[in-house]
């Protein structure tokens, strides 16, 4: 696999990847262990879509993450695990130990009857067993579906049902900052409605008492008694499914994004090595949760494929205080640090007193992901964390892309605050106007599409291929549509401006406005609601909800509390609206469509210049909304 080292080399590699994509990716794929080689590198069309990489090849991603490294790295640390509470002891896991743990757990899964192709739901906090769980599934060819442990029982149930999981892997509880979360209880509530779940394996973390259902629930440590570490990796097809990860879209329920084994594997390692320019012996830390795609690709698969050493952190950036990230960087001498703009802004707001006590001189590269990074946060990160000597890689990508698509290569690509800069080799971005015409040249803006497949592109949405086609491949013929707006400046650099659909990005979490609306509408007093995003200093975007009630309620504060509880119950605390305005009507066109443009403007605090409202059924509702707008 090529490791790019200069800008000229980047340009040569980029050209190669466009002129001969198959030759280019075959070369990157050479260094992996394949049980059977491919008969064709790529077979694709974006119409159905039908995309296959490394056709007919067989491999196992865990053999490439683990077995392959043992001769040189058995005693090298794979993960430094840092607990939520800094007073608790850290755990160091070598490649050999991780291999043994994964093999043993693989045998537990087999004993429980899990087979290749079965779906296993993983609902766990950030503990080492979580990484083991993903890898053990992958080793037997079972498909993991990780659900972020902050989602509610209702949201978890929906995800388990959608892909008919046969098993749930979970923990008794979770520590998150000062909180103690009853994880197993959430699982119990969820699977009351999930008849496909035959087994639940519970890892003890908090020692919180749990109810164990006989015949269904067992403890992780008890399952491991007398289990062998002998577990050859299953041979799985390159296009066999590796995992499902649910993500929000502009309509309906979250969709199960499906990634397959071969292409995802090649791309995860390629991007990890090239974007972060990881060097032998360095310590990498991605602060994401494994419940999101960033954790899948850049805590678990990318770093392990590359034989890297990384930090896995259980807690939150603000516990026990806002210096925690910097304390951890200092403690493990982290060289490459990858986090989200929302965390940067929150820690910036906390003040430099939390940064000063720690030595950050091990840092060599800084990364950003999840949402547009504003210039101010970029400058603060650069100056106070990177001490103006660490390149910042602003990495743009999505759950659906599997890996980073547009990003500087650390220390190679000249950076510019707010810009994800240039596409990685193999990635062909185009900007498209309203009519679907490709906009050529520089100094232009449009909807961001990709015109050629890269190895870790989404293959389908679980159980509903048509939805995948509709969502990503039908808006513009023969293009993958990202849902993001984007500017290409005079230098050909890309700047992602944010979503152009009804998806909002709150603290780097993707939330569909439709999902929040349907949760709000579950409240008995609500007839209708409309949710929009608005600029928020820390979260990037906040959630603003307009609601219409059946009966006017005098106790608006109480009503708001009930709605927050409803949203927490249906989705989870991350989807709670920041502002709830009770209105008597919503601005609708004669055809009944809500004019969100107006609602967004009001939420932004723009109370005049609302544009053309003449097509509204009842323009008077706008005046009322403006009069009641929340600050």
Provide the binding-site residues for ligand 7RM, judged by CB under 6 A. Answer: 247, 292-294, 368-372, 394-399, 420, 482-484, 496, 498-499, 505, 510
Which residue number, 394 or 517, has a Cβ lying nearer to ligand 7RM? 394
Min CB(533)–ligand 7RM separation in Å: 11
Which residue number, 73 or 499, has a Cβ lying nearer to ligand 7RM? 499
Contact 246, 257 (CB under 8 A): yes
184 closest CA partner among 217, 158, 154, 215? 217
**Residue partners of 144: CB distance under 8 A and separation at least 6:** 119, 120, 121, 122, 133, 134, 137, 138, 242, 243, 244
Which residue number, 175 or 419, has a Cβ lying nearer to ligand 7RM? 419
Which residue number, 273 or 541, has a Cβ lying nearer to ligand 7RM? 541
Which residue number, 323 or 367, has a Cβ lying nearer to ligand 7RM? 367
Count of Cβ atoms closer than 10 Å to residue 614 Cβ: 6
Give 423-444 as a DSSP string. Answer: BPTT--EEEE-TTSPEEPSSSE
Min CB(503)–ligand 7RM separation in Å: 7
E-state strands within 152-248: 167-171, 174-176, 179-181, 199-203, 217-219, 236-237, 241-247
In our burial notation (b when 16+ CB lie closer than 10 A, e otherwise), range 204-236 reads bbbebebeeeeeebbebeebeeebeeebebbeb
Cα 461 to Cα 458: distance, rounded to the nearest angstrom: 8
Min CB(603)–ligand 7RM separation in Å: 18
Min CB(155)–ligand 7RM separation in Å: 15
Which residue number, 392 or 622, has a Cβ lying nearer to ligand 7RM? 392
Min CB(172)–ligand 7RM separation in Å: 28
3-state secondary structure of 267: helix
Min CB(404)–ligand 7RM separation in Å: 8
Min CB(420)–ligand 7RM separation in Å: 5
Cα 472 to Cα 454: distance, rounded to the nearest angstrom: 15
Min CB(369)–ligand 7RM separation in Å: 5
Which residue number, 277 or 399, has a Cβ lying nearer to ligand 7RM? 399
Which residue number, 167 or 369, has a Cβ lying nearer to ligand 7RM? 369
**Residue partners of 427: CB distance under 8 A and separation at least 6:** 17, 405, 406, 450, 452, 454
Give 44-64 as a DSSP string. Answer: EETTTTEEEEEET-EE-HHHH
Min CB(192)–ligand 7RM separation in Å: 29
Min CB(247)–ligand 7RM separation in Å: 5
Query: What are phi and psi for residue 19, nearest 5 degrees?
Result: -70, -35
Min CB(392)–ligand 7RM separation in Å: 11
Which residue number, 396 or 546, has a Cβ lying nearer to ligand 7RM? 396
Cα 237 to Cα 57: distance, rounded to the nearest angstrom: 6
Which residue number, 291 or 323, has a Cβ lying nearer to ligand 7RM? 291
Which residue number, 397 or 452, has a Cβ lying nearer to ligand 7RM? 397
Which residue number, 260 or 399, has a Cβ lying nearer to ligand 7RM? 399
Min CB(399)–ligand 7RM separation in Å: 3
Min CB(484)–ligand 7RM separation in Å: 5
3-state secondary structure of 98: helix
Min CB(254)–ligand 7RM separation in Å: 11
Which residue number, 62 or 398, has a Cβ lying nearer to ligand 7RM? 398
Cα 255 to Cα 471: distance, rounded to the nearest angstrom: 10
Contact 54, 238 (CB under 8 A): yes
Q: How far is CA 279 from CA 5, 307, 310, 619, in A?
A: 12, 10, 12, 61
Which residue number, 420 or 570, has a Cβ lying nearer to ligand 7RM? 420
Angle formed at CA 384 by CA 378 and CA 386, multiple of 5 degrees = 75
Where does residue 280 rank: exposed (0-12), middle (13-18), buried (19+ CB within 10 A)?
exposed
Q: How far is CA 547 from CA 181, 360, 555, 559, in A?
A: 30, 47, 14, 11
Cα 590 to Cα 63: distance, rounded to the nearest angstrom: 59
Contact 84, 177 (CB under 8 A): yes
């Amino acid at each position: 696999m090529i490791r790019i080292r200069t800008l000229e080399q980047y340009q040569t590699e980029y050209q190669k990847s466009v002129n001969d994509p198959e030759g280019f990716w075959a070369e990157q794929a050479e260094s992996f262990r394949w049980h059977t080689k491919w008969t064709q590198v790529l077979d694709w069309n974006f119409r159905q879509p039908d995309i296959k990489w490394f056709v007919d090849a067989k491999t196992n991603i865990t053999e490439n993450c683990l077995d392959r490294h043992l001769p040189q790295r058995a005693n090298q640390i794979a993960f430094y695990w840092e607990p939520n509470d800094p007073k608790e002891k850290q755990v160091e896991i070598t490649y050999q130990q991780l291999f043994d743990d994964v093999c043993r757990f693989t045998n537990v899964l087999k004993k429980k009857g899990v087979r290749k192709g079965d779906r296993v739901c993983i609902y766990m906090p950030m503990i080492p067993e979580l990484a083991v769980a993903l890898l053990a599934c992958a080793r037997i060819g079972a498909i993991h579906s990780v659900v972020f442990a902050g989602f509610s029982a209702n949201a978890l149930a929906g995800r388990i049902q959608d892909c008919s999981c046969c098993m749930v892997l979970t923990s008794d509880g979770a520590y998150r900052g000062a909180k103690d979360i009853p994880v197993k209880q959430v699982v119990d509530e969820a699977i009351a409605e999930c008849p496909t779940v035959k087994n639940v394996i519970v890892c003890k973390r908090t020692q919180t008492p749990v109810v164990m259902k006989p015949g269904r629930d067992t403890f992780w440590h008890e399952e491991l008694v007398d289990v062998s570490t002998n577990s050859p990796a299953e041979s799985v097809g390159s296009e066999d499914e590796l995992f499902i990860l649910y993500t929000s879209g502009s309509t309906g329920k979250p969709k199960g994004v499906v990634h397959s084994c071969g292409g995802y594997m090649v791309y995860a390692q390629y991007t990890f090595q090239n974007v972060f320019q990881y060097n032998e012996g360095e310590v990498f830390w991605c602060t994401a949760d494994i419940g999101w795609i960033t954790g899948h690709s850049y805590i678990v698969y990318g770093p392990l494929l590359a034989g890297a050493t990384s930090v896995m952190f259980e807690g939150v950036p603000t516990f026990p205080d806002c210096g925690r990230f910097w304390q951890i960087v200092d403690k493990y001498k982290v060289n490459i640090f990858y986090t989200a703009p929302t965390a940067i802004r929150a820690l910036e707001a906390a003040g430099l007193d939390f940064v000063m006590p720690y030595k950050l001189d091990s840092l060599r590269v800084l990364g950003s992901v999840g949402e547009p990074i504003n210039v101010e946060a970029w400058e603060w990160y650069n100056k106070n964390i990177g001490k103006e000597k660490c390149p910042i890689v602003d990495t743009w990508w999505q759950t659906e892309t599997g890996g980073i698509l547009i990003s500087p290569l650390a220390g190679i690509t000249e950076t510019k605050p707010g810009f994800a800069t240039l596409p990685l080799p193999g990635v062909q971005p185009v900007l498209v106007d309203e009519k679907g015409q490709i906009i050529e040249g520089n100094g232009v803006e449009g909807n961001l599409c990709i015109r050629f497949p890269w190895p870790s592109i989404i293959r389908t949405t679980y159980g509903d291929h048509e939805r995948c086609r509709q969502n990503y491949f039908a808006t513009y013929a023969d293009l993958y549509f990202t849902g993001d707006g984007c500017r290409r400046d005079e230098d050909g650099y890309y700047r992602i401006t944010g979503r152009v659909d009804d998806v909002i990005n709150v603290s780097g979490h993707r939330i569909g406005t439709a999902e929040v609306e349907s949760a709000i509408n579950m409240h008995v007093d609500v007839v209708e609601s409309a949710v929009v995003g608005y600029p928020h200093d820390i979260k990037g975007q906040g959630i603003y909800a307009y609601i219409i009630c059946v009966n006017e309620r005098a106790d608006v504060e109480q009503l708001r509390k009930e709605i927050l509880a409803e949203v927490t119950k249906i989705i989870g605390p991350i989807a709670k609206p920041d502002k709830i305005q009770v209105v008597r009507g919503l601005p609708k066109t004669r055809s009944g469509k809500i004019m969100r443009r107006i609602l967004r403007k009001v939420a932004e605090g723009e109370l005049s210049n609302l544009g053309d409202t003449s097509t509204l059924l009842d323009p008077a509702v706008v005046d009322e909304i403006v009069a009641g707008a929340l600050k």
